[in-house]
Amino acid sequence: KTAVILMITLVTIPFASFYIGTNPNQLQIDILKEMAWAVSAVSIVCFLLGEITRNNSQVDKIWSVVPIPYAWYMTYRGSWNSRMILMSILITIWGCRLTYNFARRGAYRWKFWEGEEDYRWAVLRQNKIFQNKVVWALFDLLFICFYQNGIIFVITVPILASLSAKYVPLSIYDFILAAVHILLIITEFVADQQQFDYQNEKHRRIAKKEDLKDYKDGFCRIGLWKYSRHPNYACEQGSWIVVYLFSVVATGEWLNWTVIGAVLLVILFKSSSDFSEGISVKKYPKYAEYQKTVGRFIPKLFTKVQKE
């Protein structure tokens, strides 16, 4: 049900977004067409690899990688516009950081189609509906591959706003946004590191049969995780909202057609966290209490902070 709703948004929101602000010009449309071919090709490759290897995390492996060439290609097509260069540099920093985090969890192998699979796909395959191989293959093709690859592309689309009819040079607002973007990347790194350290220590104690002590609850709620159940997700969404805000500076329009990426990403993270938390509630007895006292993305006010 959730997947169907998400796919409907991918179809409807792009059309609706073209009625917001100034429509894309011919150069922007030409670049979008070129990118559509590239995204489709990547989606098909991900689908074929996933079906052949039975590892459906092929899109996960490239989530932080392909936005980099997408951004730089659009920058090249934009004749190296200064704002596009700045945005591409920021996206490159974001991508390198996230790729490192994914790699240290065992996601990549020399045989690039192998590596760790997201545990949620294995859980989802156990659903009665998806035990039908044809149904799963369609879900893999349409949602895992095409939908997610579509989002990976559209979050970079605000770069094209710099190619609007009226060129707006770089200003102090661009550099403020760049600083905020870097701050969000650093904060996300801290959150991921805290989760990484927690899980490593928990599994070390389990393997050594040591007293779990503060790790007995099973899930991380130290550091930033005391204030947000998904601080890394919050920063991830914030980073791409900032990318969209560059388009606001470039066009002078608070709402423009490139907003599609930020909107779809927020919807995806809401749905993704719903699914993962449904698993956590069943797995960890105290997770429901954690949900009541700690905000999903934004810290709750006037609630007691979880003890470390």
Q: Quote the domain boundaries for residue 13.
A: 2-293
Tens of pLDDT, residues 208-223: 888 888 898 999 999 9
Question: Is 264 domain-assigned?
Answer: yes
Q: Kindly state the average pLDDT of the residues 160-171.
A: 84
Tell me how far apart the alpha carbons of residues 303 and 295 are, in angstroms, rounded to a whole number. 10
Instruction: Tally DSSP H helices, then E strands, for the chain.
Output: 12, 0
Give me 184's structure tokens. 């969000």
Question: Is 308 domain-assigned?
Answer: no
Q: What is the pLDDT of residue 116?
A: 74
Question: Is 75 domain-assigned?
Answer: yes
Tell me how far apart the alpha carbons of residues 51 and 44 are, in angstroms, rounded to a whole number. 11
Question: Is 307 domain-assigned?
Answer: no
- Amino acid present at 152: I
Percent of the chain with pLDDT over 90: 60
How many structural domains is the chain composed of?
A: 1
Question: Is 150 domain-assigned?
Answer: yes
> Does pTM top 0.75 for this prediction?
yes
Question: Is 304 domain-assigned?
Answer: no
Q: Kindly state the average pLDDT of the residues 77-93.
A: 96
Tens of pLDDT, residues 111-150: 766 677 777 888 888 888 888 889 999 999 998 999 999 9
Give me 21's structure tokens. 């602000």
Tell me how far apart the alpha carbons of residues 239 and 242 are, in angstroms, rounded to a whole number. 5
Question: Is 299 domain-assigned?
Answer: no
Residue-wise burial string across 84-115, b where 16 or more C-beta atoms lie within 10 A, e elsewhere: bbbbbebbebbbebbbebbeeeebbeeeebbb
Question: Is 282 domain-assigned?
Answer: yes
Tell me how far apart the alpha carbons of residues 164 and 169 are, in angstroms, rounded to a whole number. 12
Average pLDDT over the chain, rounded to whole?
Answer: 88
Above 50 in pLDDT, residue 283? Answer: yes
